[in-house]
Amino acid sequence: MCAKVSRPFWRSASRSGHLDSPLDRIRRIQTVDDMVEQTPSLSGEEGSNVKSALRVLKVLEFFAQTRKPATAADLRRHLDLPKSSCSALMETLRRAGFLYPVGRESGYYPTRRWLELAHAVSENDPVLQALEPMLEEVRDGSGETVILSKMMDQQVLYLDVVECTHEVRIAARSGELKPLYASAAGRALLSTLPDEERAVLIKSLDYKPYTSATSKGPAELEARIQAGLAQGWFLAIGEHRDDTISLSMPLQLGSQHYAVTIGIPRYRMDTKLEQSRLVLGKAVQAFQRQHQGKV
């Protein structure tokens, strides 16, 4: 039986035969710095505002990683900030009700205000409200992790993860960014673009070789997109990680395109691929009929 969770870690048969600890999971989260490296940089006043916002995110990330109170000195070292800037940031968060003092020696810890705001935002996401029942249906039918994603610039953005409970499984985190050219979801999303727009975009990608199966350039990527269009679904075998496969189909909600992807450990490919393809195809087609013309 699978339960809906969203855990930020990978489990694979080739790396580990045991369950990760909670701390191991946190260590595998794609960090704010990782994600910033994948996005265009800004300069001037815009760059300064972005930097201030990132500092707040990194404070929350620091507490998620350490899971214990921290002093201003601890955060100053983590953020690499001058003493005055760090103190001002901490005081601002304290006055706004996002941090509270645990003790003179212990420092600060986040309040539940972060969680309450995040919960209110997440529970009212109009896209997830429409798609979540279908994602859970695909998870239950395939017995594997299901990911909802959308194209953002030159990357795949994970919007939701409905993870199964196999001890050996693929897991991901909402908000993660992945390369368009090295995943089934990327090809599913690229397939929704007009031919000329897609041709321009795929020529601009960097084609970092994650594995020997990663698309090596625009021609190979376009050929794989055309193959997926011809069969009605997209398959990536060991393109981003050697030990995983992903099966994906695009869907449209209003004017926006999304990809629904099933992630499968590669060793389960022979027993799960056909079942997963049928479950995914049936669910996506039913969703499109039900929501045709809806925004």
Same domain, 143 and 101: no
Residue 183 lies in a domain: yes
Residue 6 lies in a domain: no
For residues 136 and 161, the answer to whether their CB atoms sit within 8 Å is no
Same domain, 227 and 81: no
Residue 268 lies in a domain: yes
Among the three residues 87, 119, 151, which one is the final residue of a domain in this structure? 119
pLDDT at 45: 53
Q: What is the CATH number of the domain that holds 236?
A: 3.30.450.40
Among the three residues 65, 100, 119, which one is the final residue of a domain in this structure? 119
Same domain, 181 and 87: no
Same domain, 287 and 155: yes
pLDDT at 249: 98
Same domain, 115 and 170: no
For residues 200 and 179, the answer to whether their CB atoms sit within 8 Å is no
CB-based contacts of 94, cutoff 8 Å, min separation 6 = 100, 101, 108
For residue 86, how many other CB atoms are within 10 A of its CB? Answer: 21
CA angle centred on 188, ends 187 and 194, rounded to 5°? 85
pLDDT at 173: 87
pLDDT at 294: 59
Instruction: Name the residue range of residue 193's domain.
Output: 125-291
For residues 75 and 85, the answer to whether their CB atoms sit within 8 Å is no
Same domain, 115 and 129: no
Same domain, 89 and 131: no
Residue 63 lies in a domain: yes
Determine the 3-state secondary structure of 148 from DSSP.
strand
Among the three residues 86, 119, 152, which one is the final residue of a domain in this structure? 119
How large is the angle between the packed helices 126-142 and 269-291, nearest 10 degrees?
140
Residue 47 lies in a domain: yes
For residues 121 and 132, the answer to whether their CB atoms sit within 8 Å is no
Same domain, 188 and 279: yes
pLDDT at 39: 47
pLDDT at 51: 79
Q: What is the CATH number of the domain that holds 104?
A: 1.10.10.10
**Neighbour-count burial of 65, counting CB atoms closer than 10 A to its CB (0-12 exposed, 13-18 middle, 19+ buried):** middle
Same domain, 106 and 167: no
pTM over 0.85: no
* Number of compact structural domains in the chain: 2
pLDDT at 1: 42
Question: Among 83, 88, 109, which residue's Cα sits nearest to residue 98?
Answer: 109
Residue 11 lies in a domain: no
Same domain, 144 and 93: no
> Which strand (E) or helix (H) includes residue 41?
none
Phi, psi of 88 (to 5 degrees): -65, -40
pLDDT at 22: 39
Same domain, 212 and 79: no
Low pLDDT (below 70) residues in the chain: 1-49, 293-295
Same domain, 143 and 283: yes
pLDDT at 291: 82
